[in-house]
Structure 1
Amino acid sequence: MTMLNDTSSVLSLLATRKSASAKAMGEPGPTPEQLQTILSCAVRVPDHGKLTPWRFILFEGDARARFGKEMRQRWSELNPAHGDDTLGFVERLFLRAPAVLAVISRAAPHPKIPEWEQTLSSAAVCQNILLAATALGIGCQWNTDWVAYDEGMAKVMGLSPTEKVAGFIYLGTSSVPLEDRPRPDPAALLTRWGA
């Protein structure tokens, strides 16, 4: 059986990386120093034109519960037939982990740099966060959920009209052992042009 999240080398980590489940996270979350390390690694991604087409929003401590009340209110507006059980679940989404880091894509039209490349850079930031957190022994999961796509919640987060959530990265300590899932065979996905 392969050891998951093997940090003995960079290649070992890449070959064994496995997300923790946000549903099974608890304390502790990253320390301020660990968070700084994670963010320092996050920004070392390809960024055509040096545009820095991303930024971060951190939800920690009481801010998670306050944001949860905003999510509950918005979900209630969107789904008035839903009862307290569903609303309570929505309200507690960000309480599942000690810290939730939003990666915000600032991709926008540019005379030279395609917007798609800027968006891909934001995805690379999310992946670097996962790799850095895992290397530090911190459980992490990249999610989006409805919150990432809702205009009302974008206003609550203070996003500009051109900004989008690339991901919410849950950071904490897994309360259950990690289990791998089946992975595709890379050879089955490879074609050779002209062959």
Structure 2
Amino acid sequence: MPINAALRDYLKTRRSVGIGFLKDPGPTPEELQEILTIGTRVPDHGKFVPWRLILIEGDDRLRAGEKLAAIAKRKRPDLDEAGMEIERRQFLPAPLTIGVLLSPKPNPKSPEIEQLLSAGNVCFNLSHAAFALGFAASWTNRWYGFDVDAQTMLGARGGERFVGFVHIGTPTAVIEDRDRPNLDDVVSRWRS
């Protein structure tokens, strides 16, 4: 294969853009279809499709936030109004959030860890797809991704769990790069 310099340069400079720096416009229906198509083109040993996606967009971002705030208040009665407002805004201001669920399929040929990694790859590919179409993205997982009541409210079915939420929108700022690991600290060679 020939060298793809544009792809190489993108991968060397890829940087998440936090949800607070994402705004409208979000993807059009056609762009969203392309993001989803690219996002789901991941390794999937056995072709089990061990993941599902849930779109949170438009006014549903506000409704989901209200329900998260109610769950948070029920679990933490001392949560003050400022804390409630944070919960209400979990899916704002990004115009689109894609929740990625691990939906494991028991099979000895593909242990759950492989299926989990496939679902994680969906999150990362959704991010790459958003950037490829001129948007920015941030892959996060907060308390509601681990809380059973919140997971259920957001659409998880029995045995499923969220592996991440990919927030997508138009960036409002250029985010400076952060320090990256020194390769000498994280890479070693196996020797016999």
**If the TM-score is normalised by the length of the shorter chain, which range does it land in?**
over 0.9
Equivalent residue runs for 1:95-110 within 5 Å: 95-110=92-107
Say yes or no: does 1:114 pair with 2:107: no
Match of 2:20 in 1: 23
Distance in structure 1 (CA, Å) of the matches to 2:17 and 2:95 = 13
Distance in structure 2 (CA, Å) of the matches to 1:108 and 1:182 = 38
**Residue 22 of structure 1: CA displacement?**
0.5
Say yes or no: does 1:93 pair with 2:90: yes
RMSD of aligned Cα (Å): 1.4
Q: 2:59 aligns with which of 58, 62, 67?
A: 62
- Residue 13 of structure 1 contacts residue 135 of structure 1 at CA under 8 Å; is this kept in 2? no
| Percent of matched pairs sharing the same residue | 38
Aligned-partner SS, 1:81: coil
How many residues align? The count is 189
Distance in structure 1 (CA, Å) of the matches to 2:138 and 2:155 = 23
Distance in structure 2 (CA, Å) of the matches to 1:112 and 1:139 = 36
C-alpha deviations, 1:24-57, integer Å up to 9, x for none?
A: 2111111111111111111111100000001110
Distance in structure 2 (CA, Å) of the matches to 1:119 and 1:42 = 15
Aligned-partner SS, 1:29: coil
In structure 1, stretches of 5+ residues that fail to align are: 1-6
Q: Relative to structure 1, is the Cα distance of residues 133 and 65 closer, same or farther in structure 2, using a 3 angstrom cutoff?
A: same
Q: 2:44 aligns with which of 43, 47, 50?
A: 47
Distance in structure 1 (CA, Å) of the matches to 2:168 and 2:64 = 17
Report the TM-score when normalising by structure 1: 0.92
Match of 1:137 in 2: 134
Q: 1:125 aligns with which of 122, 127, 136?
A: 122
> Which runs of at least 4 in structure 1 moved beyond 3 Å after TM superposition?
none
Aligned-partner SS, 2:164: strand
- Residue 56 of structure 2 contacts residue 97 of structure 2 at CA under 8 Å; is this kept in 1? yes
Say yes or no: does 1:74 pair with 2:71: yes
Aligned-partner SS, 1:71: helix
Say yes or no: does 1:158 pair with 2:155: yes
